[in-house]
Structure 1
Amino acid sequence: MAVRTGIAIAAASLLFGVPAVFSHELPAAPDPAQTPASAQPAPDARILFQNVRIFDGVSAELSPASHVLVNGNLIEKVSRDALSAPGARVVDGGGRTLMPGLIDMHWHSMFVGVPLAVALTQDAAYLNIVAGVEARKALMRGFTTVRDLGGSAFSLKQAVDQGVIPGPRIYPSGAMISVTSGHGDFRSMADLPRTLGAPGSRHDVAGDSTIADSPDEVRLRTREQLMQGATQIKLTGGGGVSSPHSPLDVVTFTEAELKAAVDAATDWGTYVAVHAYTPTAIQRAVKAGVLSIEHGSLMDDDTAQAMAKAGVWLSTQPFPDELANAFPRGSDQWLKAQEVFAGTDRTYQLAIKHKLKTAFGTDILFSSRLAEQQGMILASLTRWYTPAQALIMATGTNAQLLKLSGKRNPYRGDLGVVREGALADLILVDGDPLQDIKLIGDPDRNFLVIMKDGVIYKDSVPAR
């Protein structure tokens, strides 16, 4: 598997037409103890953004005209006074908006660009190549960080971090952990019965999903993901839309099984996120010590209260109607999608009512075309929030959830903000997204500069 994955990444670097700045020999696998995860092609020593208005990821207003100096991969200085930086590369902002890179808290790097049937049958080499293409596209949409919640994205992350291919920072979960017949169990009936201790299914081997049917198995699978570099752990606590075997109402893991994952993750200084729609599934996860509920689309008032009391995050998504139509009309998956999507409005209303810590993500699956709407999906949050609230959620707020990874956080430094000492992930927007958030939905036209880790990946500022 490792050989095939390495071939995939090497092929990807040729296939993408990666610019010369990325052209170098494929590096050997790094020693994690000696290689910084933020390694990238060497940026300009210093880059000075002049005459910009700053959306800092925290405040609901733009700053007056300001100047931002980037030194290496960090923001060194933010000032309303002119800055002197001899020898620095100068970007004339022309009064435009400088903001933090966007963060998608529910992403599936390995599955965003391929149909479900392909994801279930193709080998790792092909999936890694497609994932690399999609990683570059996500970065060029201004998403400089993603939290990957299911899929073997470890090699992709390594290639991005080493500068082999361009892409966002990746916080990987590794295989999503499910139970027999649960969301994430894509085996056929021909694969049954499962014998404990027998070799895993092809999905286990590929590292995209894995089955655990006891606290001991959950503990084992959790530790396997952490061994590979998981920054957090993902379990599926109830049925799912794309699941071939699990209705939405089922509750999968027992509280003891969930707690086994929580204990193992806590021992590694990180946390567990759980896919759950229903009140029963959510409340069981909260009782077990889970810190992030993914989706929550069918929650009720009591469940929202329980989450608020426990300080649990809600990582939910404003699913576009087009996503429901990705399934054949009238199919089980299509019917489940209608039920989930119908709950979206109430979920956001409950989150606002109970002041839940709420994160933004997209959970786009199996459609490269739909992934192009990543920014527009963010903009659709204005059904419930102001543009400023939506953009704060996708930057500074999301970054707070990322920090729950503790010492497993591979990117040491502040993300999602524009302030001195923060990591230099920045976007120069042609316009004011706090007034017109739809600017985010057309990055080709409106994002003039995209920087990640101090490296400029796009610069289309008009010459003066």
Structure 2
Amino acid sequence: MFECSDVNSAETDPFGRCICHSPAFARLNAQLDAKFSRRAFLGGAAAIGAAAFWPKGAAAAIPDAPATPIAITNVRIFDGKSNKLISGSRILIEGNKIKAIEPGNAPLAQGIQAIDGGDRTLMPGLIDAHWHSMMAPVPIMELLTADVGYITLVASEEARKTLLRGFTSIRDLAGPSFSLKRAIDSGLTFGPRIWPSGAMISQTSGHGDFRFPYEVPAQPNGPLSRGEAVGGGMIADGVDAVLKRVREQLMLGASQIKLAAGGGVASNFDPIDVSQYTEAEFRAAVDAAENWGTYVTVHAYTPRAIQTAIRGGVRCIDHGQLMDEETAKIMADKGIWFSSQAFIQNEYSNPYPEGSANRAKQMTMFAGTDTAYGLAKKYKLKTAWGTDILFEPSMTKNQGAILTTMSRWYSNDEILLMATGGNASLLAMSGPRNPYPSKIGVIEAGAYADVLLVDGDPMADIKLLADPEKNLKLIMKDGRIYKNTLA
């Protein structure tokens, strides 16, 4: 793993010897050699090297930052905060931020590049509050068998497509997305801003336990399961184990923590009605997260799973399709976020095979969606939206179309507010762990210049967002223009 240097100075060892020859260093080197195989190292190096030498002008190339300020003129503005379009104004962008919203008829200062919006709708970039960067674009068996370097390259390509669908920010709720986030932030490739959770933490037999039956019982001090090894999910039982696994994800860069609090559809061995983790285990995760200034969200459908998690200090419930009225009241009283999805039987439902246990669980969950959204509206829950596309590469292209199906429960302006300023408020709960401290999801001075120009009025026709290739004429993230098809 490490090789000895020929340098012989006081900087190596106070006794004049190279520190590489010390017994302690030899033991460390042997342990590292055992932990990191040559094959894994070379695979990662090859992936990084290929990306670093990606030719200029290729599909993954990052557009240059504008050399001068940009004014986007002749637009109607949806600001992500109100349910009315603002007319007669333009926005001024300088660097990666919105500098000002100005009167549209004021003279432009010299040296400002003007983009004529053609009376189209300018709005903040969309936000998906439940996305799986690493798990959406690969089938489950590929995730469990393919090299993680290959999975990362597939995810990188999907990240580009995500941004070109108009989603400039996502909250990643399980998966090893830290490397992808770093590559995007450093300009190695492009994609949305990522708020990573890292591995979902699950009890043995829980929603994040994707071991095969032959791997049970787990051997004492045995190797990690495949799901754990790739960073998709970590199994932790008991307060001490939960503390350790949460702290590991925080060390890796998690902006929030995710636990599995109840049964799931995609997992094969836990019925959907089961409740997972105890109040004490939730409290351990919450204490560890709050020590880092952030929060815990949970995968949960049922009243018992949701209520146990809330008693343990959890501040966000993801899914919640099977909640009852008592649970909704508790969430409203405590200000708990309800981050849910438009899970119904439609062309975007990604059905499991008929007759399978997964399909039965899926239909049970679908049946609760109308009730859950009805309760959310009745009790005015803080509601976020996400897709939760999982293990289905053919579905990712429908990200914007899935947003439009929220019209079953909400008006167009409510949907737009939810997918911009509303989701941004949820992401901001990461506090000091928020990797992007300026505002997103809004058009205002000081916010990141994450901007879309829609050919039409999505407040009147939300389905415009279902066809981003046709209807998104301009896509800007961080002040850089990734798409511009204006004449």
TM-score w.r.t. the length of structure 1 is 0.93
> In the alignment, what sits opposite 2:270?
246
Matching residue within 74, 81, 85 for 1:51 = 74
Q: Which amino acid aligns with 2:305?
A: A
Query: Are 2:177 and 1:137 aligned?
Result: no
Q: Which of 189, 213, 224 pairs up with 1:200?
A: 224
**Which residue type is aligned with residue 298 of structure 2?**
V
Does the 8 Å CA contact 1:5/1:128 hold for their aligned counterparts?
no
Give yes or no for the alignment of 1:7 onto 2:7.
Answer: no
Report the AA paired with residue 363 of structure 2. Answer: Q
* Maintained 8 Å contact 2:256/2:295: yes
Give the superposition deviation at 1:62. Answer: 0.5
Give the Å deviation of 1:324.
4.2
1:75 to 98, 115, 119: 98
Shift in Å at residue 414 of structure 1? Answer: 0.5
Displacement after TM superposition at 1:43 (Å)? 3.8
- Establish whether residue 257 from structure 1 lines up as the match of residue 281 from structure 2: yes
Instruction: Give how far 1:322 is off.
Output: 3.9
Aligned twin of 1:341: 366
CA shift in 2, pair 1:23/1:363, >3 Å: closer
**Distance (Å, rounded) in 1 between the aligned partners of 2:261 and 2:98:** 40
1:24-43: per-residue Cα shift (whole Å, max 9, x none)? 9xxxxxxxxxxxxxxx9534
CA separation of 1:201 and 1:102: change in aligned 2, threshold 3 A? same
Match of 1:370 in 2: 395
Q: Secondary structure at the match of 1:181?
A: coil
Instruction: Tell which deviates more after alignment, 446-455 or 318-327.
Output: 318-327
Check the 8 A contact 1:172/1:231 in 2, yes or no: yes
- Are positions 1:99 and 2:123 aligned together? yes
Distance 1:413 1:325, change over 3 A: closer
What are the superposed Cα offsets for residues 119-154 of structure 1, whole Å, 9 maximum, x if unpaired?
121120111011011101110000000000000000
CA contact 1:359–1:397 (8 Å) conserved in 2? yes
Give the deviation of 1:7 after TM superposition.
3.3
Q: How many matched pairs?
A: 446
* Among candidates 380, 384, 405, match of residue 409 of structure 2: 384
Aligned residue for 2:139? 115
**Residue identity in the other structure for 1:452:** K
1:19 lines up with 2:43 in the alignment: no
CA deviations 1:311-366 (Å, max 9, x no partner) are 10000000253454442111111111111111111110000001000001000112
Structure 1 residue aligned with 2:181, among 147, 157, 160? 157
For the 8 Å contact 1:9–1:129, the answer to whether it is kept is: no
User: Residue type of the partner of 1:189?
Assistant: P
Q: Which residue of structure 1 aligns with residue 36 of structure 2?
A: none
- Classify 1:166/1:312 alpha carbon distance in 2 versus 1 (closer, same or farther; 3 Å): same
Q: How does 1:214-225 map to 2 (within 5 A)?
A: 214-225=238-249
CA contact (8 A) 2:348 2:402 kept: no
Contact 1:278 1:297 (8 Å CA) reproduced:
yes
CA-CA distance at 1:426 after TM superposition = 0.2
**Under a length normalisation based on structure 2, what TM-score does the superposition of the two structures give?**
0.88
Could you tell me which of 178, 190, 209 is aligned with 2:202? 178
Opposite residue 313 of structure 2, the aligned amino acid is G
Which residue, 281, 289, 292 being the options, matches 2:316? Answer: 292
1:179–1:211 Cα contact (<8 Å) kept = yes
Indicate the residue corresponding to 1:85 in structure 2. 109
Structure 2 CA distance for partners of 1:64 and 1:9, relative to 1, 3 Å: same
Deviation at 1:89, TM superposition (A): 2.4
Determine the C-alpha separation between the residues in 2 that align with 1:14 and 1:332. 47
Say what the alpha-carbon RMSD is for the aligned residues.
Answer: 1.8
1:319 paired residue among 343, 355, 360: 343
Structure 1, unaligned stretches of length 5 or more? 25-39
CA distance in 2, matches of 1:176, 1:75: 35
Superposition pairs of residues 377-456 of structure 1, within 5 angstroms: 377-456=402-481
> C-alpha separation between the residues in 1 aligned to 2:281 and 2:107?
56
Checking the alignment, whether the CA contact within 8 Å between 2:262 and 2:276 is kept in structure 1 is yes
| Aligned-partner SS, 1:144 | strand
